[in-house]
Amino acid sequence: MTSIAANLQQVRERLRAACEAASRRSSEVTLLAVSKTFGADAVRQAHAAGQTAFGENYVQEGIEKIALVAESVPRAALEWHCIGPLQSNKTRVVAAQFDWVQSVDRLKIAQRLSEQRPAGLAPLNVCLQLNVDGGANKSGVTLAELPALADAVAALPGLRLRGLMSIPEPVAGFDAQRAVFLRVREAYEDLRARGHALDTLSMGMSDDLEAAVAAGATLVRVGRAVFGHRPLKDPAAA
């Protein structure tokens, strides 16, 4: 069984090679280690191997894990991203505990995050989740609705609109993957042309990060390739 440190080294090498193939600098792409369903010790191991940014899909699990990890790793040393669907009744704890929310797809959620972000904290970094391929059962704002939502979110106090996040339906082959990611990139560049100061394009996971980097991703969300297959039971309290 390979260690988390060894897995991180392999993922970083994949990112380095992907950036080189796309004539990009490695520093242009951030690795977000998706630690959902893995316990606090897994996060500690990843941090010991140099990883600082972590993504959580489930709010309660994430909040508990943030507290557990903070017992041995200074809170300021890590960056926590909420990347899963967010319900209205969870916005208060997310606004108080996370550094980023990548899954904003409704103005109501953004408004609640804005109102509930503690005054003593830096603005909450947010990405708008784009449903780029129209999956009926997927979260995300449509391409048609995106410009208006971006305008509204950017005007809210306590938030900083950073960019877009997308989770396209899986497709086979580098060229097909890249083509979908380029649609997200086009939407991102359109918002920048409209005057939004965006710097984050969150797309690509364990199976398609190379295509995402080729299409311009600035952040890739990798879980399985870092931590392995998800455990059957939730070890968040471990």
pLDDT above 80 (res 237): no
pLDDT in tens, 78-121: 999 999 999 999 999 999 999 999 999 999 999 999 999 999 99
Provide mean pLDDT across the span 175-201.
Answer: 98
pLDDT above 70 (res 31): yes
Rounded Cα gap, residues 2 and 107, in angstroms: 43
Amino acid, res. 135: G
**pLDDT at residue 1 in the model:** 58
DSSP conformation letters of 138-203: S-SB-TTTHHHHHHHHHTSTTEEEEEEEE-PPP-SSHHHHHHHHHHHHHHHHHHHHTT----EEE-
Phi–psi pair at 42, nearest 5 degrees: -65, -40
Rounded Cα gap, residues 222 and 206, in angstroms: 5
pLDDT above 50 (res 215): yes
Percentage of the chain exceeding pLDDT 90:
92
pLDDT above 90 (res 67): yes
Which is nearest to 128 in space by CA: 98, 170, 92, 86? Answer: 86
Provide mean pLDDT across the span 182-205.
Answer: 98
pLDDT mean across residues, the chain: 95
**pLDDT at residue 234 in the model:** 45
**pLDDT at residue 59 in the model:** 97
Residue 98: CA count within 13 A, CB half-sphere: 33
What are the chain's domains? 4-226 (3.20.20.10)
Supply the pTM of this predicted model: 0.94
Write down the residue that tokens 């809170």 correspond to: 75
Which of 92-96, 137-141, 203-207, 208-212 is predicted least confidently? 137-141
pLDDT above 70 (res 139): yes
**pLDDT at residue 137 in the model:** 62
Residue 230's pLDDT band (cuts 50, 70, 90)? confident
Provide mean pLDDT across the span 117-128.
Answer: 97
pLDDT above 90 (res 134): no
**pLDDT at residue 142 in the model:** 95
Percentage of the chain exceeding pLDDT 70:
95
pLDDT above 80 (res 136): no
Beta bridge partners of 222: 33
Provide mean pLDDT across the span 205-228.
Answer: 97
